[in-house]
Amino acid sequence: MSIDQLGAAAGGDNIGVDDDDPNFNTPPESLEDLRLKLSPDIDSTEEYIRRNQEWIAKSEASVRELKATVKSLIGQTSSRKAELQNRTLQMRQMKKEIEEISMEAIEKEEEELKKLIVVETERQKSHSDTDQPGNFAKLEELKLKLDAYKEHLGLEIDVHSQGEWIEFIFTRIDPESTNATYSIKLTVDNEHYKCISCDPKVPKLEDLFQQLNTHHDLHQFMTELRTEFKNIANKEN
């Protein structure tokens, strides 16, 4: 029995293959057709990959630049730390020298005072009783001389916590205003002294620093500076 006969037997409908169906004779898509069809997607994917590669390259460059910056900052911080430590040591040394100068002056005055006390005591013993009250008063006056000298010295030293500067504050400069302060703030770099501020201004300050940086004689510097402050106080009065 043929296919047509089977169809007729099933009810007369023809279930055979229609040779005129366009899908029947259409061959499958070739690889070239598929490539052309997928080309927009491929191009889009390639563009996406290219952009990501560019972003990755820029990110890596930024990371390298950031690492270089951090390394530079670390180096600068280490250098700054070493500089501050050096300044701090120099300021502490300067403070120590000034304190030694002050103590040396006090000890010298005290030694002179002791000699005077011994002399005055001997004189007191050799005088009559009528002279003793006056000699005793003189002795008491001499005993107070050291305390008066220490008070008159009136020098306070303030050192910055990180060694940036050191400040010398003088009092007892102006006899009419004992609470008035005269100060100088300076820094030192490799044993070279520089003035940060001076209150009040001293006309000969530049010459004083020139001598200080030439001879490194802090005692002479402080003595002459105190004298200059006294001259200013006298002019104001």
Q: Show the tokens assigned to 25.
A: 């004779």
What local confidence, expressed as pLDDT, does residue 204 receive? 93
Q: Is residue 111 within 8 Å of residue 149, measured between CB atoms? A: no
Residue 13 confidence (pLDDT) above 90: no
Specify the pLDDT at position 7.
Answer: 43
Residues 57, 54: Cα–Cα separation, whole Å: 5
Angstrom distances, CA of residue 2 to CA of 10, 17, 160, 218:
12, 13, 117, 132
Structure-model confidence comparison of residues 226 and 100, the more confident one = 226
Q: pLDDT by residue (tens digit) across 81-136?
A: 777 777 777 777 777 777 676 666 666 655 665 555 455 445 545 554 444 444 44
Q: How far is CA 163 from CA 20, 92, 158, 183, 226, in A?
A: 103, 8, 10, 18, 24
In a domain? residue 126: no
Domain presence at residue 143: no
Of residues 25 and 183, the one with the higher pLDDT is 183
Average pLDDT for residues 39-55, to the nearest whole number?
Answer: 77
> Is 132 within the bounds of a domain?
no
State the pLDDT at residue 130: 42
- Whether residue 51 lies inside any domain: the answer is no
Domain that holds residue 89: 83-99+154-236
- What are 217-225's contacts with CB under 8 Å, separation 24+? 218/94, 218/97, 218/98, 218/101, 219/101, 222/98, 222/101, 222/155, 222/168, 225/168, 225/184
Number of structural domains (the chain) is 1
Burial 157-168 (b: 16+ CB within 10 A, else e): eeeeeebebbbb
* Confidence bin at 139 (pLDDT 50/70/90): very low
Could you tell me if residue 14 is inside a domain?
no
**147 in a domain, yes or no?**
no
**Structure tokens, 196:** 């940060």
Has residue 217 been placed in a domain? Answer: yes
Q: Considering the domain boundaries, does residue 206 fall inside one? A: yes
Span of 78-87, 128-137, 172-181, 187-196 with lowest mean pLDDT: 128-137
178 pLDDT above the threshold of 80: no
Q: What is the CATH number of the domain that holds 223?
A: 3.30.457.50
